[in-house]
Structure 1
Amino acid sequence: MKASHIEVLRLEASRLPRRAGVGFKPEHFLAIDIEPQPVGFFEVHAENYMGAGGPPHAQLARLRADYALSIHGVGLSIGAMQPLDRTHLARLKALCERYQPESFSEHLAWSTHDTVFLNDLLPLPYTEETLAVVAAHVDEVQTALGREMLLENPATYLLFEESTIEETDFLADVARRTGCGLLLDVNNVFVAATNHHLDPWAYLARFPLDRVREIHLSGHSETVDDHGAPLLIDSHDTPVRDPVWSLYEEVIGRIGPVATLIEWDNDIPEWPVLRAEAEAANALLLDTVARQVA
Protein backbone atom coordinates (compact mmCIF):
# COMPACT_ATOMS: atom_id res chain seq x y z
CA MET A 1 0.00 0.00 0.00
CA LYS A 2 1.37 3.39 -0.98
CA ALA A 3 1.88 5.79 1.92
CA SER A 4 0.30 9.21 1.78
CA HIS A 5 2.45 12.29 2.33
CA ILE A 6 0.90 12.89 5.75
CA GLU A 7 1.51 9.29 6.84
CA VAL A 8 5.16 9.50 5.87
CA LEU A 9 5.66 12.70 7.83
CA ARG A 10 4.54 10.85 10.96
CA LEU A 11 7.22 8.20 10.60
CA GLU A 12 10.14 8.03 12.98
CA ALA A 13 12.75 10.53 11.81
CA SER A 14 16.53 10.29 11.86
CA ARG A 15 17.94 10.76 15.39
CA LEU A 16 21.70 10.63 14.77
CA PRO A 17 23.82 12.89 16.98
CA ARG A 18 25.20 15.94 15.21
CA ARG A 19 28.73 14.60 15.40
CA ALA A 20 31.10 12.68 13.17
CA GLY A 21 30.83 8.92 12.84
CA VAL A 22 32.62 6.25 10.86
CA GLY A 23 31.76 3.21 8.82
CA PHE A 24 32.37 0.13 10.97
CA LYS A 25 34.88 -2.44 9.71
CA PRO A 26 35.21 -5.78 11.54
CA GLU A 27 39.01 -5.56 11.51
CA HIS A 28 38.72 -2.49 13.74
CA PHE A 29 36.47 -4.12 16.34
CA LEU A 30 39.13 -4.97 18.94
CA ALA A 31 40.69 -1.51 18.74
CA ILE A 32 37.27 0.12 19.08
CA ASP A 33 36.06 -2.09 21.91
CA ILE A 34 39.09 -1.62 24.14
CA GLU A 35 38.05 1.91 25.20
CA PRO A 36 35.39 4.55 24.47
CA GLN A 37 35.90 6.17 21.08
CA PRO A 38 35.48 9.85 20.13
CA VAL A 39 32.86 9.15 17.46
CA GLY A 40 29.19 9.96 17.45
CA PHE A 41 27.95 6.85 15.66
CA PHE A 42 28.86 3.85 13.54
CA GLU A 43 27.38 3.01 10.16
CA VAL A 44 27.04 -0.47 8.65
CA HIS A 45 25.87 -1.69 5.27
CA ALA A 46 22.56 -3.47 5.70
CA GLU A 47 23.35 -6.30 3.33
CA ASN A 48 26.31 -7.41 5.48
CA TYR A 49 23.98 -8.17 8.40
CA MET A 50 21.04 -9.98 6.87
CA GLY A 51 22.11 -13.37 8.21
CA ALA A 52 20.69 -14.73 11.44
CA GLY A 53 23.73 -14.58 13.70
CA GLY A 54 27.44 -15.31 13.99
CA PRO A 55 30.37 -12.95 14.65
CA PRO A 56 28.98 -10.06 12.55
CA HIS A 57 25.90 -9.79 14.73
CA ALA A 58 27.86 -10.35 17.95
CA GLN A 59 30.11 -7.41 17.09
CA LEU A 60 27.24 -5.19 15.96
CA ALA A 61 25.24 -5.90 19.12
CA ARG A 62 28.28 -4.94 21.20
CA LEU A 63 28.69 -1.66 19.32
CA ARG A 64 24.97 -0.92 19.51
CA ALA A 65 25.11 -1.10 23.30
CA ASP A 66 27.40 1.96 23.43
CA TYR A 67 26.94 3.96 20.22
CA ALA A 68 24.30 5.36 17.92
CA LEU A 69 23.85 3.35 14.73
CA SER A 70 23.20 4.20 11.09
CA ILE A 71 22.16 1.49 8.63
CA HIS A 72 23.05 2.22 5.02
CA GLY A 73 21.47 0.13 2.28
CA VAL A 74 23.12 -0.65 -1.05
CA GLY A 75 20.71 -3.20 -2.51
CA LEU A 76 17.17 -1.81 -2.63
CA SER A 77 17.57 -0.49 -6.19
CA ILE A 78 15.35 2.51 -5.50
CA GLY A 79 15.78 3.84 -9.03
CA ALA A 80 14.89 0.64 -10.91
CA MET A 81 11.79 0.63 -13.07
CA GLN A 82 10.76 -2.81 -11.76
CA PRO A 83 9.04 -3.32 -8.38
CA LEU A 84 11.10 -3.46 -5.22
CA ASP A 85 12.24 -6.87 -4.02
CA ARG A 86 9.76 -7.59 -1.22
CA THR A 87 11.96 -10.33 0.25
CA HIS A 88 14.92 -7.97 0.48
CA LEU A 89 12.70 -5.28 2.00
CA ALA A 90 11.44 -7.78 4.60
CA ARG A 91 15.02 -8.64 5.57
CA LEU A 92 15.80 -4.96 5.88
CA LYS A 93 12.75 -4.42 8.08
CA ALA A 94 13.83 -7.30 10.37
CA LEU A 95 17.32 -5.80 10.66
CA CYS A 96 15.98 -2.36 11.58
CA GLU A 97 13.61 -3.87 14.13
CA ARG A 98 16.48 -5.85 15.63
CA TYR A 99 18.87 -2.92 16.10
CA GLN A 100 16.58 0.15 16.07
CA PRO A 101 19.09 2.38 14.25
CA GLU A 102 18.95 6.12 14.62
CA SER A 103 19.04 6.45 10.83
CA PHE A 104 18.45 4.48 7.63
CA SER A 105 19.63 5.59 4.19
CA GLU A 106 19.79 4.37 0.59
CA HIS A 107 21.08 5.57 -2.78
CA LEU A 108 19.42 7.34 -5.67
CA ALA A 109 20.51 4.56 -8.02
CA TRP A 110 19.48 1.20 -9.46
CA SER A 111 21.23 -2.18 -9.39
CA THR A 112 18.70 -4.77 -10.59
CA HIS A 113 17.19 -5.82 -13.91
CA ASP A 114 14.67 -8.66 -14.00
CA THR A 115 16.30 -11.33 -11.80
CA VAL A 116 19.85 -10.04 -12.26
CA PHE A 117 21.60 -8.13 -9.47
CA LEU A 118 24.38 -5.85 -10.71
CA ASN A 119 27.09 -5.21 -8.15
CA ASP A 120 27.11 -1.48 -8.77
CA LEU A 121 25.09 1.65 -8.06
CA LEU A 122 24.00 2.80 -11.50
CA PRO A 123 22.66 6.26 -12.45
CA LEU A 124 19.21 6.96 -13.85
CA PRO A 125 17.80 9.64 -16.12
CA TYR A 126 15.96 12.41 -14.34
CA THR A 127 12.52 12.52 -15.93
CA GLU A 128 8.95 12.79 -14.72
CA GLU A 129 8.61 9.03 -15.20
CA THR A 130 11.62 8.14 -13.05
CA LEU A 131 10.59 10.74 -10.49
CA ALA A 132 7.23 9.03 -10.05
CA VAL A 133 8.90 5.61 -9.75
CA VAL A 134 11.49 6.74 -7.21
CA ALA A 135 8.88 8.55 -5.10
CA ALA A 136 6.65 5.46 -5.10
CA HIS A 137 9.58 3.27 -4.05
CA VAL A 138 10.59 5.64 -1.26
CA ASP A 139 6.97 5.67 -0.04
CA GLU A 140 6.92 1.86 -0.05
CA VAL A 141 10.18 1.60 1.90
CA GLN A 142 9.17 4.15 4.50
CA THR A 143 5.79 2.52 4.99
CA ALA A 144 7.36 -0.93 5.39
CA LEU A 145 10.02 0.26 7.83
CA GLY A 146 7.87 2.75 9.72
CA ARG A 147 10.74 5.23 9.62
CA GLU A 148 12.16 8.03 7.54
CA MET A 149 14.55 7.05 4.77
CA LEU A 150 17.42 9.31 3.75
CA LEU A 151 18.10 9.38 0.01
CA GLU A 152 21.71 9.91 -1.09
CA ASN A 153 22.85 11.92 -4.11
CA PRO A 154 24.98 9.78 -6.44
CA ALA A 155 28.51 9.99 -7.79
CA THR A 156 28.07 9.86 -11.57
CA TYR A 157 30.27 9.41 -14.60
CA LEU A 158 27.81 10.15 -17.38
CA LEU A 159 24.73 12.28 -18.05
CA PHE A 160 21.56 11.21 -19.85
CA GLU A 161 20.35 13.18 -22.86
CA GLU A 162 16.75 12.38 -21.92
CA SER A 163 17.02 13.99 -18.48
CA THR A 164 14.64 16.93 -18.14
CA ILE A 165 15.06 17.67 -14.43
CA GLU A 166 18.13 18.95 -12.59
CA GLU A 167 19.43 16.45 -10.02
CA THR A 168 18.95 18.92 -7.18
CA ASP A 169 15.35 19.55 -8.24
CA PHE A 170 14.76 15.80 -8.60
CA LEU A 171 15.93 15.18 -5.03
CA ALA A 172 13.90 18.12 -3.74
CA ASP A 173 10.77 16.80 -5.45
CA VAL A 174 11.24 13.28 -4.05
CA ALA A 175 11.63 14.74 -0.55
CA ARG A 176 8.56 16.95 -1.01
CA ARG A 177 6.37 14.13 -2.31
CA THR A 178 7.39 11.52 0.27
CA GLY A 179 8.59 13.41 3.33
CA CYS A 180 11.93 11.59 3.19
CA GLY A 181 15.17 13.18 4.30
CA LEU A 182 18.32 13.57 2.23
CA LEU A 183 21.83 12.31 2.74
CA LEU A 184 24.26 14.78 1.19
CA ASP A 185 27.43 13.02 0.04
CA VAL A 186 29.84 15.91 -0.42
CA ASN A 187 32.49 13.77 -2.08
CA ASN A 188 29.89 12.64 -4.61
CA VAL A 189 29.14 16.28 -5.37
CA PHE A 190 32.80 17.02 -6.07
CA VAL A 191 33.34 13.82 -8.09
CA ALA A 192 30.28 14.30 -10.29
CA ALA A 193 30.88 18.03 -10.80
CA THR A 194 34.48 17.42 -11.87
CA ASN A 195 33.51 14.60 -14.21
CA HIS A 196 30.78 16.69 -15.87
CA HIS A 197 32.77 19.97 -15.93
CA LEU A 198 30.31 21.64 -13.57
CA ASP A 199 30.71 23.90 -10.55
CA PRO A 200 30.27 22.01 -7.24
CA TRP A 201 29.64 25.27 -5.39
CA ALA A 202 26.77 26.10 -7.75
CA TYR A 203 25.37 22.59 -7.23
CA LEU A 204 25.37 23.10 -3.45
CA ALA A 205 23.69 26.49 -3.89
CA ARG A 206 20.77 24.67 -5.55
CA PHE A 207 20.69 21.68 -3.21
CA PRO A 208 17.67 21.44 -0.83
CA LEU A 209 19.82 21.74 2.28
CA ASP A 210 16.77 22.07 4.52
CA ARG A 211 16.12 18.35 3.93
CA VAL A 212 19.67 17.18 4.79
CA ARG A 213 19.76 14.91 7.85
CA GLU A 214 23.21 13.37 7.33
CA ILE A 215 26.42 14.08 5.41
CA HIS A 216 28.95 11.65 3.96
CA LEU A 217 32.63 12.42 3.42
CA SER A 218 35.15 10.16 1.72
CA GLY A 219 38.19 10.06 -0.52
CA HIS A 220 38.37 9.57 -4.26
CA SER A 221 40.94 8.52 -6.82
CA GLU A 222 42.09 10.53 -9.82
CA THR A 223 42.61 9.39 -13.40
CA VAL A 224 41.89 10.70 -16.91
CA ASP A 225 39.30 9.74 -19.51
CA ASP A 226 39.95 8.73 -23.13
CA HIS A 227 40.37 12.38 -24.06
CA GLY A 228 42.85 13.17 -21.31
CA ALA A 229 40.35 15.11 -19.19
CA PRO A 230 40.33 14.64 -15.40
CA LEU A 231 38.14 11.78 -14.21
CA LEU A 232 37.43 11.16 -10.54
CA ILE A 233 36.36 7.80 -9.12
CA ASP A 234 34.32 7.54 -5.91
CA SER A 235 36.73 4.93 -4.56
CA HIS A 236 36.48 5.42 -0.77
CA ASP A 237 40.15 4.47 -0.43
CA THR A 238 41.94 7.66 0.64
CA PRO A 239 41.61 10.39 3.25
CA VAL A 240 39.06 13.12 2.53
CA ARG A 241 40.57 15.51 -0.04
CA ASP A 242 41.00 19.22 0.62
CA PRO A 243 38.36 20.42 -1.90
CA VAL A 244 35.80 18.13 -0.25
CA TRP A 245 36.66 19.52 3.18
CA SER A 246 36.12 23.03 1.78
CA LEU A 247 32.71 22.13 0.38
CA TYR A 248 31.82 20.50 3.69
CA GLU A 249 32.71 23.67 5.59
CA GLU A 250 30.45 25.63 3.25
CA VAL A 251 27.53 23.28 3.91
CA ILE A 252 27.75 23.20 7.69
CA GLY A 253 28.39 26.93 7.72
CA ARG A 254 25.00 27.35 6.06
CA ILE A 255 22.90 24.75 7.91
CA GLY A 256 24.83 24.14 11.14
CA PRO A 257 26.11 20.86 12.58
CA VAL A 258 24.82 17.71 10.90
CA ALA A 259 25.62 14.06 11.59
CA THR A 260 28.65 13.37 9.40
CA LEU A 261 30.04 10.02 8.32
CA ILE A 262 33.60 9.26 7.24
CA GLU A 263 33.44 6.51 4.59
CA TRP A 264 36.53 4.39 3.93
CA ASP A 265 35.65 1.06 2.29
CA ASN A 266 38.76 0.05 0.31
CA ASP A 267 42.46 -0.12 1.23
CA ILE A 268 41.21 0.21 4.80
CA PRO A 269 43.76 1.82 7.15
CA GLU A 270 44.45 1.09 10.79
CA TRP A 271 41.81 2.34 13.23
CA PRO A 272 43.78 5.44 14.41
CA VAL A 273 43.86 6.78 10.83
CA LEU A 274 40.09 6.47 10.41
CA ARG A 275 39.49 7.89 13.88
CA ALA A 276 41.65 10.91 13.02
CA GLU A 277 39.44 11.63 10.00
CA ALA A 278 36.39 11.61 12.26
CA GLU A 279 38.13 13.88 14.76
CA ALA A 280 38.92 16.34 11.95
CA ALA A 281 35.25 16.46 11.00
CA ASN A 282 34.26 16.87 14.64
CA ALA A 283 36.64 19.82 14.96
CA LEU A 284 34.91 21.56 12.06
CA LEU A 285 31.48 20.83 13.56
CA LEU A 286 32.54 22.28 16.92
CA ASP A 287 34.00 25.35 15.20
CA THR A 288 30.68 25.86 13.44
CA VAL A 289 28.85 25.75 16.76
CA ALA A 290 31.30 28.21 18.31
CA ARG A 291 30.84 30.68 15.44
CA GLN A 292 27.07 30.41 15.65
CA VAL A 293 26.94 31.24 19.35
CA ALA A 294 29.61 33.97 19.20
Structure 2
Amino acid sequence: MRNPSSSLEDRIPARAGVGLKAEHYRTIIDTLPDVGFFEVHAENYMGAGGPPHRYLSAIRERYPLSLHGVGLSIGADRPLDEDHIARLRDMRRRYTPGLFSEHLAWSSHDVGFLNDLLPLPYTVETLKRVVEHIDQIQTALGCEMLLENPSTYVAFAESAYTETDFIAEVARRTGCGLLLDVNNVFVASTNQQWNPVAYIEGYPLARVKEIHLAGNTRQEDEEARPLLIDSHDRPVEDAVWHLYELTARLIGPVPTLIEWDADVPAWPTLAHEAERAETIMFANRLETPRHAVAR
Protein backbone atom coordinates (compact mmCIF):
# COMPACT_ATOMS: atom_id res chain seq x y z
CA MET A 1 0.00 0.00 0.00
CA ARG A 2 1.29 3.47 -0.82
CA ASN A 3 1.03 5.82 2.09
CA PRO A 4 -2.06 7.95 2.63
CA SER A 5 -0.99 11.34 3.98
CA SER A 6 -2.19 13.06 7.11
CA SER A 7 -4.51 15.97 6.43
CA LEU A 8 -2.84 19.36 6.33
CA GLU A 9 -4.57 20.63 9.47
CA ASP A 10 -3.21 17.74 11.54
CA ARG A 11 0.42 17.94 10.52
CA ILE A 12 3.11 18.36 13.16
CA PRO A 13 5.14 21.58 12.80
CA ALA A 14 8.88 21.39 12.20
CA ARG A 15 9.60 22.27 15.81
CA ALA A 16 10.66 20.52 19.01
CA GLY A 17 8.11 18.58 21.05
CA VAL A 18 8.00 16.66 24.31
CA GLY A 19 6.62 13.31 25.38
CA LEU A 20 3.43 13.89 27.37
CA LYS A 21 3.59 12.64 30.96
CA ALA A 22 0.89 12.64 33.63
CA GLU A 23 3.23 14.54 35.97
CA HIS A 24 2.94 17.57 33.67
CA TYR A 25 -0.76 17.58 32.76
CA ARG A 26 -1.70 20.46 35.06
CA THR A 27 1.40 22.54 34.24
CA ILE A 28 0.69 22.27 30.53
CA ILE A 29 -2.99 23.13 30.81
CA ASP A 30 -2.39 25.99 33.25
CA THR A 31 0.64 27.61 31.58
CA LEU A 32 0.35 26.61 27.87
CA PRO A 33 4.12 26.29 27.30
CA ASP A 34 5.56 27.18 23.90
CA VAL A 35 6.35 23.74 22.47
CA GLY A 36 5.64 22.49 18.98
CA PHE A 37 3.73 19.30 19.84
CA PHE A 38 3.28 16.50 22.33
CA GLU A 39 3.76 12.80 21.70
CA VAL A 40 1.87 10.06 23.54
CA HIS A 41 2.37 6.32 23.77
CA ALA A 42 -0.78 4.88 22.26
CA GLU A 43 -0.98 1.99 24.69
CA ASN A 44 -1.31 4.39 27.64
CA TYR A 45 -4.62 5.71 26.29
CA MET A 46 -6.41 2.61 25.02
CA GLY A 47 -8.99 2.64 27.80
CA ALA A 48 -12.40 4.10 27.05
CA GLY A 49 -12.24 7.08 29.41
CA GLY A 50 -11.10 8.43 32.75
CA PRO A 51 -8.72 11.24 33.77
CA PRO A 52 -5.99 10.43 31.20
CA HIS A 53 -8.43 11.00 28.34
CA ARG A 54 -9.85 14.15 29.92
CA TYR A 55 -6.40 15.67 30.19
CA LEU A 56 -5.31 14.48 26.75
CA SER A 57 -8.48 15.91 25.18
CA ALA A 58 -7.82 19.28 26.80
CA ILE A 59 -4.21 19.30 25.62
CA ARG A 60 -5.20 18.18 22.11
CA GLU A 61 -7.43 21.26 21.82
CA ARG A 62 -4.31 23.43 22.10
CA TYR A 63 -1.47 21.35 20.63
CA PRO A 64 -0.85 18.91 17.76
CA LEU A 65 -0.22 15.32 18.78
CA SER A 66 2.09 12.59 17.56
CA LEU A 67 1.03 9.01 18.35
CA HIS A 68 3.81 6.55 19.14
CA GLY A 69 3.13 2.83 19.43
CA VAL A 70 5.20 0.29 21.34
CA GLY A 71 3.02 -2.81 21.16
CA LEU A 72 2.36 -3.80 17.55
CA SER A 73 5.34 -6.18 17.42
CA ILE A 74 5.85 -5.51 13.72
CA GLY A 75 8.73 -7.94 13.36
CA ALA A 76 7.13 -10.90 15.13
CA ASP A 77 6.85 -14.18 13.27
CA ARG A 78 3.12 -14.32 13.88
CA PRO A 79 0.00 -12.42 12.77
CA LEU A 80 -0.54 -8.93 14.10
CA ASP A 81 -3.08 -8.47 16.89
CA GLU A 82 -6.27 -7.29 15.17
CA ASP A 83 -7.77 -6.03 18.44
CA HIS A 84 -4.67 -3.90 19.05
CA ILE A 85 -4.92 -2.43 15.55
CA ALA A 86 -8.61 -1.66 16.13
CA ARG A 87 -7.76 0.21 19.34
CA LEU A 88 -5.10 2.19 17.48
CA ARG A 89 -7.65 3.07 14.82
CA ASP A 90 -10.02 4.34 17.52
CA MET A 91 -7.20 6.45 18.99
CA ARG A 92 -6.46 8.01 15.61
CA ARG A 93 -10.12 8.85 15.01
CA ARG A 94 -10.48 10.35 18.48
CA TYR A 95 -7.36 12.54 18.52
CA THR A 96 -6.38 12.98 14.83
CA PRO A 97 -2.63 12.88 15.46
CA GLY A 98 -0.39 14.37 12.80
CA LEU A 99 2.05 11.44 12.90
CA PHE A 100 1.89 7.78 13.88
CA SER A 101 5.03 5.71 14.49
CA GLU A 102 6.11 2.26 15.61
CA HIS A 103 9.35 0.34 16.18
CA LEU A 104 11.29 -2.02 13.97
CA ALA A 105 11.23 -4.74 16.61
CA TRP A 106 9.22 -7.61 18.03
CA SER A 107 7.84 -8.27 21.50
CA SER A 108 5.07 -10.88 21.17
CA HIS A 109 5.26 -14.66 21.23
CA ASP A 110 2.84 -17.55 21.33
CA VAL A 111 3.08 -17.66 25.13
CA GLY A 112 2.55 -13.95 25.72
CA PHE A 113 3.95 -10.45 25.42
CA LEU A 114 7.51 -9.57 26.36
CA ASN A 115 8.31 -6.28 28.05
CA ASP A 116 11.14 -5.50 25.62
CA LEU A 117 11.58 -4.34 22.05
CA LEU A 118 13.75 -7.11 20.62
CA PRO A 119 15.98 -6.97 17.52
CA LEU A 120 15.45 -8.74 14.21
CA PRO A 121 17.71 -10.61 11.80
CA TYR A 122 17.89 -8.55 8.61
CA THR A 123 17.07 -11.31 6.16
CA VAL A 124 14.87 -11.68 3.08
CA GLU A 125 12.30 -13.56 5.16
CA THR A 126 12.19 -10.84 7.82
CA LEU A 127 11.92 -8.17 5.14
CA LYS A 128 8.89 -9.87 3.60
CA ARG A 129 7.20 -10.20 6.99
CA VAL A 130 7.83 -6.60 8.06
CA VAL A 131 6.61 -5.26 4.71
CA GLU A 132 3.40 -7.31 4.94
CA HIS A 133 2.77 -6.10 8.48
CA ILE A 134 3.34 -2.44 7.64
CA ASP A 135 1.05 -2.71 4.62
CA GLN A 136 -1.61 -4.23 6.87
CA ILE A 137 -1.23 -1.44 9.46
CA GLN A 138 -1.30 1.41 6.96
CA THR A 139 -4.36 -0.06 5.26
CA ALA A 140 -6.21 -0.62 8.54
CA LEU A 141 -5.40 2.80 10.00
CA GLY A 142 -5.75 4.73 6.76
CA CYS A 143 -2.56 6.69 7.36
CA GLU A 144 1.17 6.61 6.85
CA MET A 145 3.19 4.86 9.52
CA LEU A 146 6.68 5.98 10.49
CA LEU A 147 9.12 3.16 11.22
CA GLU A 148 11.67 3.78 13.99
CA ASN A 149 15.21 2.43 13.87
CA PRO A 150 15.97 0.25 16.92
CA SER A 151 18.44 0.49 19.76
CA THR A 152 20.27 -2.84 19.67
CA TYR A 153 22.75 -4.72 21.80
CA VAL A 154 23.42 -7.75 19.58
CA ALA A 155 23.45 -8.48 15.85
CA PHE A 156 22.44 -11.65 14.04
CA ALA A 157 25.07 -13.53 12.08
CA GLU A 158 22.48 -14.49 9.43
CA SER A 159 21.66 -10.86 8.54
CA ALA A 160 21.97 -10.27 4.79
CA TYR A 161 21.38 -6.50 4.92
CA THR A 162 22.92 -3.70 6.89
CA GLU A 163 20.39 -2.02 9.16
CA THR A 164 20.23 1.13 7.03
CA ASP A 165 19.78 -0.86 3.81
CA PHE A 166 17.07 -3.00 5.40
CA ILE A 167 15.13 0.06 6.60
CA ALA A 168 15.53 1.74 3.21
CA GLU A 169 14.11 -1.32 1.45
CA VAL A 170 11.16 -1.52 3.85
CA ALA A 171 10.37 2.14 3.18
CA ARG A 172 10.71 1.66 -0.59
CA ARG A 173 8.36 -1.33 -0.67
CA THR A 174 5.69 0.04 1.69
CA GLY A 175 5.86 3.79 1.11
CA CYS A 176 6.07 4.27 4.89
CA GLY A 177 7.89 7.21 6.42
CA LEU A 178 10.70 6.94 8.94
CA LEU A 179 11.32 8.09 12.49
CA LEU A 180 15.05 8.55 13.02
CA ASP A 181 15.93 8.04 16.68
CA VAL A 182 19.35 9.65 16.96
CA ASN A 183 19.97 8.26 20.43
CA ASN A 184 19.22 4.76 19.11
CA VAL A 185 21.84 5.34 16.41
CA PHE A 186 24.40 6.29 19.05
CA VAL A 187 23.46 3.42 21.37
CA ALA A 188 23.56 0.76 18.65
CA SER A 189 26.72 2.16 17.09
CA THR A 190 28.54 2.16 20.42
CA ASN A 191 27.38 -1.33 21.34
CA GLN A 192 28.13 -2.85 17.94
CA GLN A 193 31.17 -0.75 17.04
CA TRP A 194 29.57 0.97 14.06
CA ASN A 195 30.41 4.46 12.88
CA PRO A 196 27.38 6.60 13.88
CA VAL A 197 28.21 9.37 11.40
CA ALA A 198 28.38 6.85 8.55
CA TYR A 199 25.09 5.35 9.77
CA ILE A 200 23.29 8.69 9.56
CA GLU A 201 24.89 9.63 6.25
CA GLY A 202 23.83 6.24 4.84
CA TYR A 203 20.29 6.43 6.20
CA PRO A 204 17.33 7.09 3.82
CA LEU A 205 17.06 10.63 5.19
CA ALA A 206 14.56 11.86 2.61
CA ARG A 207 11.99 9.56 4.26
CA VAL A 208 12.52 10.94 7.79
CA LYS A 209 9.49 12.82 9.09
CA GLU A 210 10.24 12.79 12.82
CA ILE A 211 13.34 12.60 15.02
CA HIS A 212 13.68 11.33 18.59
CA LEU A 213 16.30 12.41 21.10
CA ALA A 214 16.79 10.78 24.52
CA GLY A 215 19.26 9.98 27.25
CA ASN A 216 21.06 6.68 27.74
CA THR A 217 22.84 4.86 30.56
CA ARG A 218 26.50 3.93 30.22
CA GLN A 219 27.67 0.53 31.47
CA GLU A 220 30.37 -1.99 30.52
CA ASP A 221 30.09 -5.49 29.11
CA GLU A 222 32.00 -8.53 30.37
CA GLU A 223 35.07 -7.46 28.35
CA ALA A 224 35.02 -3.92 29.79
CA ARG A 225 33.78 -2.41 26.53
CA PRO A 226 31.20 0.40 26.62
CA LEU A 227 27.61 -0.83 26.75
CA LEU A 228 24.85 1.75 26.36
CA ILE A 229 21.26 1.20 27.51
CA ASP A 230 18.45 3.16 25.86
CA SER A 231 17.04 4.21 29.24
CA HIS A 232 15.19 7.51 28.51
CA ASP A 233 15.85 8.64 32.09
CA ARG A 234 18.28 11.56 31.79
CA PRO A 235 19.27 14.49 29.56
CA VAL A 236 20.45 13.99 25.98
CA GLU A 237 24.23 13.59 26.03
CA ASP A 238 26.65 15.74 24.03
CA ALA A 239 27.55 13.02 21.51
CA VAL A 240 23.86 12.64 20.60
CA TRP A 241 23.45 16.41 20.28
CA HIS A 242 26.39 16.44 17.84
CA LEU A 243 24.76 13.71 15.74
CA TYR A 244 21.54 15.70 15.78
CA GLU A 245 23.42 18.75 14.48
CA LEU A 246 24.70 16.63 11.59
CA THR A 247 21.19 15.35 10.88
CA ALA A 248 19.74 18.87 10.93
CA ARG A 249 22.34 20.04 8.42
CA LEU A 250 21.51 17.14 6.11
CA ILE A 251 17.70 17.28 6.14
CA GLY A 252 16.65 20.63 7.57
CA PRO A 253 13.98 21.20 10.24
CA VAL A 254 11.95 18.09 11.13
CA PRO A 255 9.60 17.57 14.11
CA THR A 256 11.93 16.54 16.93
CA LEU A 257 10.86 14.90 20.17
CA ILE A 258 12.54 14.84 23.57
CA GLU A 259 11.85 11.39 25.06
CA TRP A 260 12.06 11.10 28.85
CA ASP A 261 10.09 8.11 30.13
CA ALA A 262 11.63 7.22 33.53
CA ASP A 263 12.68 9.38 36.48
CA VAL A 264 10.64 12.12 34.81
CA PRO A 265 11.93 15.56 35.87
CA ALA A 266 10.08 18.79 36.58
CA TRP A 267 8.68 20.54 33.53
CA PRO A 268 11.45 23.21 33.19
CA THR A 269 14.07 20.50 32.57
CA LEU A 270 12.10 19.04 29.66
CA ALA A 271 11.32 22.49 28.31
CA HIS A 272 15.04 23.33 28.33
CA GLU A 273 15.86 20.17 26.34
CA ALA A 274 13.18 21.05 23.78
CA GLU A 275 14.51 24.61 23.48
CA ARG A 276 18.01 23.28 22.85
CA ALA A 277 16.72 20.94 20.13
CA GLU A 278 14.84 23.76 18.43
CA THR A 279 17.87 26.06 18.57
CA ILE A 280 20.07 23.39 16.95
CA MET A 281 17.39 22.56 14.39
CA PHE A 282 17.25 26.08 13.02
CA ALA A 283 20.90 27.07 13.58
CA ASN A 284 21.99 24.21 11.32
CA ARG A 285 19.36 24.77 8.67
CA LEU A 286 20.71 25.04 5.14
CA GLU A 287 18.92 26.87 2.34
CA THR A 288 18.81 23.61 0.38
CA PRO A 289 19.30 20.52 2.58
CA ARG A 290 21.04 17.61 0.88
CA HIS A 291 18.13 15.30 1.78
CA ALA A 292 14.97 17.41 1.74
CA VAL A 293 12.08 15.62 3.41
CA ALA A 294 8.87 15.26 1.40
CA ARG A 295 6.00 17.06 3.13
Q: Tell me whether 1:238 sits opposite 2:247 in the alignment.
A: no
Q: Tell me whether 1:282 sits opposite 2:270 in the alignment.
A: no
For residues 70-149 of structure 1, the aligned pairs below 5 Å read 70-149=66-145
Partner AA of 1:245 in structure 2: W
**Identical-residue share of aligned pairs (%):** 60
Partner AA of 1:292 in structure 2: E
Q: Is the 8 A contact 2:17 2:38 kept in 1?
A: yes
Q: How many residues align?
A: 286
The aligned counterpart of 1:58 is 54
Q: Tell me whether 1:203 sits opposite 2:170 in the alignment.
A: no
Shift of 1:38: 1.6
Q: Is the 8 A contact 1:18 1:260 kept in 2?
A: yes
For residues 215-234 of structure 1, the aligned pairs below 5 Å read 215-234=211-230
Q: Normalising by the residue count of structure 1, what TM-score does the alignment of the two structures yield?
A: 0.95
1:248 & 1:235 partners in 2: Cα distance?
18
* The one of 170, 178, 194 aligned to 2:174: 178
Shift of 1:205: 1.4
SS at match of 2:13: coil
1:247 & 1:193 partners in 2: Cα distance?
12
Shift of 1:9: 3.2
The aligned counterpart of 2:6 is 12
SS at match of 1:34: helix
Segments of 4+ moved more than 4 angstroms: none
Shift of 1:284: 1.1
Shift of 1:287: 1.4
* The one of 19, 22, 27 aligned to 2:23: 27
SS at match of 1:267: coil
Query: RMSD between aligned alpha carbons?
Result: 1.2
Q: Is the 8 A contact 1:76 1:106 kept in 2?
A: yes
Shift of 1:115: 4.2
Shift of 1:274: 0.5
2:54 & 2:132 partners in 1: Cα distance?
35
Question: Residue deviations 1:44-72, cap 9 Å, x none?
Answer: 00000000000000010011000010010
Q: Normalising by the residue count of structure 2, what TM-score does the alignment of the two structures yield?
A: 0.95
Unaligned runs of at least 5 residues, structure 2: 289-295
Shift of 1:244: 0.3
The aligned counterpart of 2:287 is 292
Shift of 1:10: 3.6
Partner AA of 1:212 in structure 2: V
Partner AA of 1:12 in structure 2: S
Q: Is the 8 A contact 2:213 2:258 kept in 1?
A: yes
The aligned counterpart of 2:45 is 49
The aligned counterpart of 2:36 is 40
